[in-house]
Amino acid sequence: MRRCVIVGGAGICEYQRIRDSLREDDWFVYCDGGLKHVQELGRKPDLIVGDFDSYERPETDTETIVLPCEKDDTDTVYAVKEAVRCGFREFLLIGVIGERFDHTFGNVSLLLYLDDLGIPACILDDYSEMRIVSRETAEVKDDCSWFSLLNISGTAKGITILNAKYPLEDGEITSEYQYGISNEVLPGKTACVSVREGRLLLVKVFGQN
């Protein structure tokens, strides 16, 4: 099954890093203001979703779902749910981390929503890559500057971190105490992160403190 790429309206500066992560057969959903990224990404939409309160609705033959401005789901949330209904089982979200913390946090929570469905998903922004660690061991290569483990859902127990500057065995991270920030992969190694109970947000950081 092809991967679904959801494009939101948040700013993107590092377009080349985003382009390098794309696959030739990716299926693109542009959400409202995300349409401003079409030219730089070099990929046309397969589906357009939005209430068009931040971008003029384009005149196009591409399938377009017009949403009301007043609704429970944001354009991005609706787009993800629609793609799930269409049967997609892998997601990449870009242009979803921006200046609005409320939208940013809501979009990060989409990783939890997809993880509940057993669907792997990743968020890429200008500085980082984010994904959920839950059922399977996650690997972190030494191509990132740092990696952090954040708890955004309940309590995570039985945490193991191998091949990192700050290893951990049978650890616990709560939402109230985020001590898993700014770890480093040992040079030439691949760090491994696993969780026995609960979930963690794995954030790989590129070139930033």
List pLDDT tens digits, range 120-177.
999 999 999 999 999 899 999 988 899 999 999 889 999 999 999 999 999 999 999 9
Please give the share of the chain, as a percent, with pLDDT higher than 70: 99
Architecture of domain 4-126: 3-Layer(aba) Sandwich (3.40)
Within the chain, all domains assigned CATH 2.60.120.320 are found at 133-205
CATH topology for 133-205? Jelly Rolls (2.60.120)
- Spell out the residues 6+ positions from residue 176 whose beta carbon is closer than 8 angstroms to its own: none
- DSSP symbol at 134: S
Q: pLDDT (tens digit, 9 = 90+) per residue, 5-52?
A: 999 999 999 999 999 999 999 999 999 999 999 999 999 999 999 988
Average pLDDT over residues 60-79: 91
Predicted TM-score of the model (pTM) = 0.92
**Helix, strand counts (H, E) of the chain:** 4, 13
